[in-house]
Structure 1
Amino acid sequence: MVSWSEDDDSSENYYQYATSGSDDGIVKIPATTDDSEFEGTEFVLCHEHGKRAERLVAFEGIHTGRRFLACAVKDGKNYGLVEWIDPSWPATMENALSKLWDMYEESKRNRTEDNLMNSFVVHKLTQEKIKLQASYERLVEDVQALLDENERRAQMKSKPDKSKLQEKYDML
């Protein structure tokens, strides 16, 4: 039966992981994922808080896939890992998990760097678009002014001069 006693040294990694969180007495639990098959009628109470322990499955580092019990209280000195249900993985499995998580983290860093570089490119293109839009608007204004001037000249040429009309009329 699982107990809340920290005297149970059944898992070497339990103590390594549990003490790696911080120096202020707060024990950090690994990231978790759901496992619908991790259930049972038996439950464990925290001696400190008197609350039922949560059943969790690790989804981080070399403990990925291991089930454990954690205190249900999310803050305070006794928050954290209670006890591992599953034994430690063999060293080869831990090594493989460690490499996979390293690959994942590197991929995540690369995507972040790519996103940053792409945001710089987008910013540069946006600035260029703004400049081109301003140039286009000036060009449209210049073309409109030129068309207006041509129309004005055409109207001037098409307005008949009264003296010339009078001459033509007199000739008839």
Structure 2
Amino acid sequence: MPSWNDEETSSEEECEVVSMDMGLMEEPDTTVEPLFCGQLELAHPKCILHQLRPIKRLAFEGPVTGRRFYGCPVQENGVNCGVVEWVDGPWPTVLQRCLCKLWEMFHEQNFGRVQDKEKFEKELARLKSEHERELAKLRTENDKFCIEYTKLVDDVSKMFDWQDGRVDKKVYQKQVEEEELEKKKKKELEEKAMSEVQMEKLKLAKEQRCILQSQADIIKNTRKAMKAVEVDRDVLKKEKAKLELVVAELLKEGYGSKEKLEQIKAILES
């Protein structure tokens, strides 16, 4: 940033204005400089669009960083016509390059910080999610332990009451026996239900075996009957053949009634 004599800048009439004949220029970002601020009281120069007295400002952007200028006073709800006049001339080329490099380094570091912030926020969200899951798990376990603890406290309280004689031994024994009896009944019901299911399964299996055995017997008897029919059929075929031979011999020899023999022959051939 350039330095100037406080005495020279303290009086606005003695402040030298350097006009760069650059025409309209967009007003850069500015910073506060106590020795060069406020509104210009001279009658000239004025901003082009509004014809208002400009404001003394100090640039804080890019290669123009540190240069004083007169800027348009309209900042909000209006059109800013930019730089009216520059007080300081342009910096040497080497200084402008240095300023550009410094601003580039600043933006890179700022971008890195933004990325680090996003990464940190993602990691924080992940840790928060894991923490919430662990917390929910611990709450569930805590509820379970509370239930077990309450039951244990009741049992210990009953035991102390029995030891102190505040509860009759017979009553306590009766409660214990009732609990045991209830557990036994419950177990017997479960065993009975299981036995009934097993009995039903055995009954069904027995019925299936009976059905299969009946089917096997029917098939066996049918096969026997078919074999007997085949045997009878073979015997009848043999008898038929013999009878045919006898009829043929009788017809040849001419014995008996020829018409009756023909009828017998027809019956045998049918």
C-alpha contact 1:69 1:82 (8 A) present in aligned 2: yes
Higher RCO, 1 vs 2 (CA within 8 Å, ≥6 residues apart): 1
Note the C-alpha offset of 1:133.
1.2
Over the aligned positions, Cα root-mean-square deviation in angstroms equals 2.7
Does structure 2 conserve the Cα–Cα contact (< 8 Å) formed by 1:2 and 1:44? no
Residues 30 and 57 in structure 2, CA contact (< 8 A), matched pair in contact too: yes
Q: Please give the residue correspondences for 1:51-130 in structure 2 after superposition, counting only pairs within 5 Å.
A: 51-74=52-75, 75-76=78-79, 79-130=81-132
- Distance in structure 2 (CA, Å) of the matches to 1:84 and 1:67: 6
Unaligned runs of 5+ in 1: 19-27, 166-172
Bigger Rg, structure 1 or 2: 2
Q: Encode CA deviations 1:18-44: one digit per residue, 9 max, x unaligned.
A: 3xxxxxxxxx31110122222676453
TM-superposed CA distance for 1:105, in Å, is: 0.4
Distance, in Å, in 1 between the alignment partners of 2:120 and 2:46 is: 51
Where in structure 2 are the equivalents of 1:129-148 lying within 5 Å? 129-148=131-150
Identity of aligned residues (%): 27
1:63–1:162 distance in 2 versus 1, CA, 3 Å: same
Q: 1:131 to 1:69 in 2, by over 3 A?
A: same
| Aligned mate of 1:29, from 11, 27, 30 | 27
Shift of 1:81: 1.5
- One-letter code aligned to 2:169: D
1:149 positional shift: 1.9
CA contact (8 A) 2:45 2:84 kept: no
Q: Which residue of 2 aligns with 1:50?
A: 51
Kindly provide the amino acid, as one letter, of the partner of residue 85 in structure 1.
Answer: V
SS in 2 for 1:51: coil
Contact 2:69 2:85 in 1 (8 A): yes
Question: 1: distance between equivalents of 2:150 and 2:100?
Answer: 74
Large movers: runs of 4+ above 4 Å: none
Q: What letter corresponds to residue 62 of structure 2 in structure 1?
A: G
The Cα shift of 1:164 comes to 9.0
Q: 1:106 to 1:49 in 2, by over 3 A?
A: same
How many pairs align? Answer: 147
SS in 2 for 1:50: coil
What letter corresponds to residue 35 of structure 1 in structure 2?
Answer: E
CA distance in 2, matches of 1:105, 1:164: 82
